[in-house]
Structure formats: C-alpha cells, structure tokens
Amino acid sequence: MDLQKLREKAIRVVRAKLRESVREDTLIVQTVSGIDELEKAANLLSKRLREWYELYNPETSRAISDHEMFAKSISSKSKKELLNELKIKDSMGAELKKEDTDAIMNLAEEVKSIFALKHSQEKYLEVSMKKTCPNVTAITGTQIGAKLISLAGSLERLSSFPASTVQLLGAEKALFRHLRNKRNLPPKYGILHEHTLLSKVSPRNKGKMARTLADKISIAAKVDYFKGKYIGKELSAQVEQKAKELR
C-alpha cells in the first residue's frame, strides 16, 4: 500500500471516529452551555433596557420585577396604559421623541427574542434528557441532571464517578478553598443544592439528603449510560421517602 492510499485510509478512520464521538450527551452539554449564555445575555440586556426605559417611565420598571414580563409589557402597551394600570396620573419620566422610544422598543424586542430562544432550548433539552438519561432525569429533573452531565463532561464520566464526587459537582471552588485553608468548612454539596428535596429537610439533614441523592444519581447514570431498563420511578420514590424521614 503506497503512502497516498495509507493517508486516505487514515483520514477516513479519523472522520469516522469524529462522527462517532458526537453523542447525544455531547449535545446536552452544548445545550446547557447555550442556555446559560442566553440567560446571562438576557439579564444583561434587561438591565440596560430598564435603565434606558426608566428615563421615560420609571414607575413601570419598578413595578414589574420580572425581566421577561417587563419587556413584554412595555413593548405591547403604551406609557399611558401602563400608568393607568398602576393608577398613576403622571410619570416622573421625561417625554421622549418617537425615534427615542422606538429605539427603546427595538431593544425590548431583542430581549423578548432572547428569552424566547432560551425557552425553546430548554424544551429541546427536556426532550433530549428524557431520551438519553431517563433515570437521571426522573431523580433530578431536566435542569439539574443536564448540569451534572455538563459539570462531569459527559454521561460516561458521570456514570464512572462515585457518589461522593457526584455530591460535590459544582462545589469545586468551595472545595479548593477548604483544601488551601482547613479553617474553611468543606462543602456538603454542589449543584444538588438546587434540588427541591433539599429545601424540604431540616438544615442539619441537608448533607444526608444530598448523599442519598448523589447515591441514586450515580446508580441512575450507570443504568442510563449502559442503556439499562427504566428504574427512575423506583429511585425517585426512594429519595422522596428519605426526604420524609429527614424532615
């Protein structure tokens, strides 16, 4: 076999390996990162929108705390309508020219578009998680499960982690602070602090609840990675029972 044919064969093998490397969990990791960046962009632009709009109608900005609802409200209703809803006759804001308010409304539309794209990506992520990691999703929900896979780097890596490592995913900075200075308490959990069950147990039992969750997630990740049967309902019932015991 001459060098040219050998080179072509090597290229074909590499291309095939690259195609195989793009797994469903790789797409999940990318989607999580995308949603996180969209949320940051939406919040940043929303703050800019509020500062700008408050020159015109500060009362409405202060009355609507939710960024998305604020953008929807000011883009669909006039200043007068918004003030009437608040039972305010006159705004403290300045009277702006149409070209000025049009510029503000253009930014409001962009903010709405970013939120809409974020919601679309979240729906896609939910479908992907239920398809790829049904057992993990049953225990953690879409968002936490996807973040765990993202923090681990892949479903394969998550499935290989012991429960103690799963428990601390997302708490790396706190762990390093503890390792550098033992006077800093070690973290009891990472991203799992977002799980609803941790809010249902007493403060002194949150660590125990996190350990139980991590243990079941570790089992679920292994089953999902090796395409085992669905045991999510059973695992979820076990963690909920543990939460009742730790209240």
Q: What is the DSSP string of the chain?
A: --HHHHHHHHHHHHHHHHHHH--HHHHHHHHHHHHHHHHHHHHHHHHHHHHHHTTT-HHHHHH---HHHHHHHHHHS-HHHHHHHTT-SS-SSPPPPHHHHHHHHHHHHHHHHHHHHHHHHHHHHHHHHHHH-HHHHHHH-HHHHHHHHHHHSSHHHHHHS-HHHHHHTT-HHHHHHHHH-TTSPPPS-SGGGGSGGGGGS-GGGHHHHHHHHHHHHHHHHHHHHTT----HHHHHHHHHHHHHHT-
* Beta carbons within 8 Å of 148's beta carbon, 6+ residues apart: 136, 140, 158, 166, 169, 191, 217
For residue 178, the model assigns a pLDDT of 78
Would you place residue 5 in the very low, low, confident or very high pLDDT band (cuts 50, 70, 90)?
A: low
Distance CA 158, CA 226 (A): 12
Mean pLDDT of the chain: 91
| Residue 228 pLDDT exceeds 90 | yes
Instruction: Measure the N-to-C terminal CA separation of the chain; round to a whole number of Å.
Output: 71
Q: Residue 163: how many CA atoms within 13 Å on its side-chain side?
A: 13
| Residue 193 pLDDT exceeds 80 | yes
Q: Tell me the per-residue pLDDT of 40-49, one tens digit each, with 9 for 90 and over.
A: 999 999 999 9
| Residue 18 pLDDT exceeds 50 | no
Domains contained in the chain, CATH given: 24-132 (1.10.287.4070), 133-247 (1.10.246.90)
Average pLDDT estimate for 160-166: 96
For residue 70, the model assigns a pLDDT of 97
